[in-house]
Structure 1
Amino acid sequence: MIYCGIDWAEKTHDVALVDDTGAVVAKRHITDDATGYKLLLELLAEHGDTEEAPIPVAIETSRGLLVAILRTGKRKVYAINPMAAARYRDRHSVSRKKSDPGDALVLANILRTDMHAHRPLPDDSDLGRAIAVLARAQQDSLWNRQQLANQLRSLLREYYPAVLEAVATWTNGLCRPETREVLKTAPTPTWAARLTRSQLQAALKRAGRKRGIEAEADRLRDIFRGDWAHQPPLVEEALGKQMLALLVQLEAPCTAADQLAEAVEEAFPRHPDAEILLSFPGLGTQLGARILAEIGDDRTRFADARGLKAYAGSSPVTRASGKKSSITRRWVKNDRLNHAGYLWAFSSLRASAGANDHYRRRREQGDWHAAAQRNLFNRMIGQLYHCLQHRALFDEQTAFPDRLAVAA
């Protein structure tokens, strides 16, 4: 059997092929373009790569055009963690030397000796992978938006606290179009105090507000004309210019998050698993798409529910050495899935009486809020694995029978 290892780089790649004995049967240096991909496929075919018996490939990335080309057909592609590859490198050389052709050889030998210990890339559908792209991009946009909003809030506290007071009652206050339009109209508190009722109404209309414009304009006008402390005029003007520059940066993730959310709303319901995911309490379109993006739709990816729970970081991990042992939460996990899991557990408390009872019971047993949420997420994702495997919708009585027993 032949094994292939590819040391990935930005412009060129090194390829190494080894046989069962570890002997190098071929080496090649290819470019990162269509010509290089064609040479790679010809090299694999020359050494026995066929549709029925493809050569497995190890590479240190799971993304990009090269990986997309390799995943065509039934070929198994193994994305090896660079840290794991570095540990394997020490098995072949104690001098700690490193080279790109040598790394390709190390990756090929990883498959030759320990292929059973590594997991190939899941065979997800094209629709599932497209939803993963959109859901992750939308999540990144929200994170970027929140980071910039925090910077804007910190800056406004230095010279413009009236705006923070004005948007305190609005959901996503600093990220709302009304807030951004008001800040463009009056970048400093001195300007804001001079705004008339008609100017504020015009700003709210430009932001897309349809209802309660007059009352909201009167409220903003009263706040802006209140008794607030001020920076020196020159300093205040400079801070206003800094705020406008930061506001331009905030516009981009706000627009991107809205557009990507619409794309997710359009793509996610078309997936066969969408109905099952949406049947769970606390999961909507956006959060359900994030869950699907991380677990995929390849039913053979996880051998059982325990594997999925470990991947999500919801199940505890035991560390034992001699007479000492400790049970702690997992640090190595899928951070995106773990983040979505906390949101899922929190939102399910109101949507499911059984989930709420489970959370309350864990708190009464001494768990902190985060630990109780993690335990609830661990139970919910195990139920999700069962429902996806058996193509069944969520059922409250089956999921939380303890609640019925207590009631009885």
Structure 2
Amino acid sequence: MLFIGDDWAEDHHDIAVMDEGGRVLTRRRLTEGVSGLEALHDLLGGYLPENAAPAEVLIGIETDRGPWVQGLLASGYTVYAINPAQSARYRQRTGAAGAKSDKGDALVLARIVAVDRELHRAIAADSDVAEEVKVLARAHQSLIWARQRQANVLRSNLREYYPAALSAFGQDLHGRDAMAVLGAEPGPKAGARLTPARVQALLRHAGRQRYLAARAGEIVEALHAPQLPARPGIEAAYTATTAALVAVIRELNAQIGVLQGQVEESFGRHPDAEIYLSQPGLGPVLGARVLGEFGDAADRYADARSRRNYAGTSPVTRASGTKRSVLARHARNRRLADALDLQAFTALSVSPGARAYYDARRSRGATHHQTLRALANRLVGILHGCLRHHTTYNEDTAWHTTTQNVELRAA
């Protein structure tokens, strides 16, 4: 066997090669890309016998994605994705002076896979469809987060010179109504001159079809309300800034819609899509996020507990002496955790079993967020069972009781 430490950067990789006896055979800096990967193959070929299998090359690297990692997996190497926090702890074990270098980090990664690889999990290659779903779902979610950041900037901007707009649109500053009205009249003076008929026309053009007159009346009433004015020059500057922010948010809305269609199309082509969509609280978008983050490699999760640990829904126990505490797991995949939290919240209204489980834990004193985490943990276990047995969700099987009894107990 050969043990390789790969400390990666944007344009290069620092490589350390160790043998089974712990002897450092070589250290090398390779360029990113095809030429660097070819150089790595040549380098390793000089230390391996002719009949050696590629899987006997064990590589530790602090990432699980990217063309370089995919190239390593395609070559047949066994690749371990090491958490940077874990490698930092190993570095402290090998030296107390606090020194750090890329070459030293590569050697630490090589030692991890040589000595403690059983404590880490090798990367399992997902299918092409799952990788496609993951890329699209992440891009879609990133745009949603970017839109929220821009909406927060817009809120701060309006607070400085146009508080009436905040009263008119509330928390939905990136929504259709706010974009229609603020896109046409971003300033308080023009907003105070808007008529119900004009606002109705703007809302209708933006796509609103129901409650036009009532919603237009609410907006006009809020925009016509007295407010403390900003200085004339300052007001003009803020008005121009609002117009620019509205244009950015509008474009983000459009691209989010485009990506959502691509996410749903890609997710629908995955063979496990039906199983994910059968789970309570999962639709095409949330289902795509969960599938993309979990992946579909058959041997990635040994059991439901492993999947829960990766999801970050299972708690962490800390015990020392007479003290023992059970805490939420904060080191986790943020994207997956966000999707599972939304699933748990949505499941409350569509699954009697989930609702009864939530109510029972709340009655024992758990907070709302603690209970949602526990419910998400339970739902991850149910999903694992469905995927393992290739079957869709069944309410009675999932909660080990009949639907009628669950409804009676919840009542």
Same fold (TM over 0.5): yes
Compute the displacement of 1:297 (Å).
0.6
Corresponding residue for 1:41? 41
Q: TM-score, normalised by structure 1?
A: 0.91
Equivalent residues in 2 for 1:77-96 (5 A)?
77-96=79-98
The answer as to 2:106 corresponding to 1:104 is yes
Corresponding residue for 1:316? 315
SS in 1 for 2:173: helix
Q: Deviations over 1:150-173 (max 9, x none)?
A: 2212322332233233334xxx73
Q: Could you tell me how far apart the structure 2 residues matched to 1:110 and 1:104 are?
A: 10
Q: Write the letter of the residue equivalent to 1:257.
A: I
Equivalent residues in 2 for 1:161-180 (5 A)?
161-168=163-170, 173-180=172-179
Q: Could you tell me how far apart the structure 1 residues matched to 2:161 and 2:335 are?
A: 36
The answer as to 2:350 corresponding to 1:351 is yes
Alpha-carbon distance change, 212 to 53 in structure 1, aligned in 2, over 3 angstroms? closer
Q: Could you tell me how far apart the structure 1 residues matched to 2:377 and 2:230 are?
A: 51
Q: Write the letter of the residue equivalent to 1:155.
A: N
Q: Which stretch has the larger CA shift, 149-158 or 3-12?
A: 149-158
Corresponding residue for 1:391? 390
Corresponding residue for 2:194? 195
Corresponding residue for 1:333? 332
The answer as to 2:267 corresponding to 1:268 is yes
Q: Could you tell me how far apart the structure 2 residues matched to 1:100 and 1:229 are?
A: 57
Q: Write the letter of the residue equivalent to 1:338.
A: A
Report if aligned partners of 1:181, 1:203 keep a CA contact under 8 Å in 2: yes
Equivalent residues in 2 for 1:246-257 (5 A)?
246-257=245-256
SS in 2 for 1:56: strand
Compute the displacement of 1:221 (Å).
4.0
Identity among equivalent positions (%) equals 43
Q: Deviations over 1:99-124 (max 9, x none)?
A: 32222222112111111111112221
Q: Which stretch has the larger CA shift, 255-264 or 377-386?
A: 255-264
Q: Could you tell me how far apart the structure 1 residues matched to 2:102 and 2:229 are?
A: 60
Q: Which stretch has the larger CA shift, 374-383 or 50-59?
A: 50-59
Q: Could you tell me how far apart the structure 2 residues matched to 1:99 and 1:333 are?
A: 27
Compute the displacement of 1:32 (Å).
1.5
Compute the displacement of 1:222 (Å).
4.6
Q: Write the letter of the residue equivalent to 2:266.
A: A
Q: TM-score, normalised by structure 2?
A: 0.90
Q: Which stretch has the larger CA shift, 46-55 or 313-322?
A: 46-55
Alpha-carbon distance change, 51 to 178 in structure 1, aligned in 2, over 3 angstroms? farther
Report if aligned partners of 1:51, 1:73 keep a CA contact under 8 Å in 2: no
Q: Could you tell me how far apart the structure 1 residues matched to 2:352 and 2:32 are?
A: 54
Report if aligned partners of 1:359, 1:373 keep a CA contact under 8 Å in 2: yes
Q: Could you tell me how far apart the structure 2 residues matched to 1:148 and 1:351 are?
A: 33
Q: Deviations over 1:239-272 (max 9, x none)?
A: 2122223334433432332222111111101111
Give the length in aligned residue pairs: 405
Compute the displacement of 1:12 (Å).
2.0
Unaligned ranges ≥5, structure 2 = none
Report if aligned partners of 1:276, 1:392 keep a CA contact under 8 Å in 2: yes
Unaligned ranges ≥5, structure 1 = none
Alpha-carbon distance change, 197 to 79 in structure 1, aligned in 2, over 3 angstroms? same
Equivalent residues in 2 for 1:183-332 (5 A)?
183-196=182-195, 199-209=198-208, 217=216, 220-332=219-331
SS in 2 for 1:338: helix
Q: Write the letter of the residue equivalent to 2:2.
A: I
Q: Could you say what the CA RMSD is over the residues aligned between the two structures, in angstroms?
A: 2.4
Equivalent residues in 2 for 1:109-128 (5 A)?
109-128=111-130
SS in 2 for 1:7: strand
Q: Could you tell me how far apart the structure 2 residues matched to 1:236 and 1:72 are?
A: 59
